[in-house]
Amino acid sequence: MVGKREEIDGRGFGALAGVRAGLLRASFGLGAICLLVAMAADFAGVVARHLGLTLLGVIEVIQLCIVGIISAALVTATVTGSHAAVHLLTSRLTQPWRGRVERTCELVAGVLFLVLAVGDGWILVDLWPRHEQSDLLHLPYAPARALWCASLAISGVLALAAVLSPIRPVARPAGGLEHDA
């Protein structure tokens, strides 16, 4: 998690540093809670199976928790600037061109997130009167759709804010499985 003020300000969110920190804490908390609930449900289901019992709807609980986990991960990756990236091309570019390509990628990601948020919002509004729910436990799908739509919208706005911000990072260090060859 990003904890230093200069790292928060470094992605071009100077005025939004407090908002970003709050979003990071909230998404971490949501993801942690959903992961714990999913693990507890799966554990209970496995123990029940070994005792010869059947717990109906365990998969439904896990599926709804996965929506929360993925939503939290999307917001966290956007806030920290840690979306998956391949640097085969950008590592060979000069610094000005690297900045332009990164800004263009953030623009495309922001527009994509917002388009997906609008599409998911459309589905949410269209299916709201039908009270769509799971088969066994009758868990409503609307809150999960609304959470996913909100995470897409938040990520889209943050990505576009990074594009429009005059403050840019000097360079992001290469990480992950990359090596200089």
pLDDT at 166: 67
Identify the three-state secondary structure at position 2.
coil
Bridge partners of residue 68, in order along the sequence? none
Distance CA 92, CA 145 (A): 40
How do the residues of the chain divide into helix, strand and coil, expressed in percent and rounded to 5? 70, 0, 30
Identify the three-state secondary structure at position 57.
coil
H-run or E-run covering 97: helix 95-127
Q: For 101-136, what is each residue's pLDDT tens digit?
A: 888 999 999 999 999 999 999 999 999 888 899 999
- Name the pTM for this structure: 0.80
Q: For 52-90, what is each residue's pLDDT tens digit?
A: 999 999 999 999 999 999 999 999 999 988 888 877 888
Query: pLDDT-based confidence at 13, cuts 50/70/90?
Result: low
Distance CA 128, CA 125 (A): 5
